[in-house]
Amino acid sequence: MIQLEDLHKSYKIGNSSLHVLKGINLKIDEGELIAIMGSSGSGKSTLLNIIGMLDLLDKGTYTLDNVEIKNLDETIAAKYRNKFLGFVFQSFNLINYKNAVENVSLPLYYQGIARQERQQKAMKYLQNFGLGDWSNHLPSELSGGQKQRVAIARAMVTEPKVLLADEPTGALDSKTSHEVMNLIQEINNDGKTILVVTHEEDIAKMCKRIVRLKDGVIVEDKKIEQNLIKSNV
């Protein structure tokens, strides 16, 4: 599904260079639920950005679904992102003046799908995620947990191969974090490959594998006994 080999990434800072990723080797199989951990500056967000085609690698190879990702201009990268990837962010990134169903259907608009089909697909995901009654509400009328579920529905509506979640519980309290991770576990149980960047140990333990970065290298990569969450949603 995802293969990274000898991945390097540096950023120029003035006259010097900051080597952020230093020879990352990582293989991710279809259907895995992986936590990517590390302190601030460890390279975990850079790694997610490269996998998400939001940033370019300097050296090494990145293969996604048997396609080598290299020398992509922004148009092709956007096309691949829309086809392969769904994104979930700590800050939800919902559009404030659009209601829940409009937010969820937005990626389908960029795929050129007709309005009625967009609405139907978006409603299906909102209902699946316990938000059917909130479909016409604006983000300002939703709780933090509801906003994140809307954001996950938006990420899933294009039926991506891989879901990338960058600190998805970072802005939520403990109870709501568990509800969101329960939803992520359910999506994974349906066969979706999911990568979760987190600095929270209890969130990582709700995944099935932990990859730990330090100073741009993988210092630990282990499968774990997953902590399962009972659904209250």
* CA-based nearest residue to 166, from 198, 119, 136, 209: 198
Domains and CATH numbers, the chain: 31-41+73-223 (3.40.50.300)
- Supply the mean pLDDT for the chain: 92
pLDDT classification of 87: cutoffs 50, 70, 90:
very high
Q: What is the mean pLDDT of residues 177-201?
A: 93
Cα 172 to Cα 229: distance, rounded to the nearest angstrom:
16
Q: What are the tens digits of pLDDT across the range 68-84?
A: 888 878 888 888 888 89
Query: What would the pLDDT profile of 14-61 be if each residue is shown by its tens digit?
Result: 899 999 999 999 999 999 999 999 988 899 999 999 999 989 899 999
Q: Is the Cβ–Cβ distance between 129 and 233 less than 8 Å?
A: yes
* Alpha helices (runs of H) in the chain, residue ranges in sequence order: 44-51, 74-84, 100-110, 115-128, 144-156, 174-189, 201-204
Structure tokens of 210? 């932990």
pLDDT tens string 95-141: 999 999 999 999 999 888 999 999 999 999 999 999 999 999 999 99
Beta bridge partner(s), residue 193: 162
Three-class SS of 115-183: HHHHHHHHHHHHHHCCCHHHCCCCHHHCCHHHHHHHHHHHHHCCCCCEEEEECCCCCCCHHHHHHHHHH
pLDDT of residue 231: 60
pLDDT at 229: 78
pTM: 0.91
| CA dihedral over 17, 217, 77, 34, signed as positive or negative | negative
Pairing label, strands 162-166, 193-197: parallel
Q: Looking at the predicted structure, is the pLDDT value of residue 232 above 70? A: no
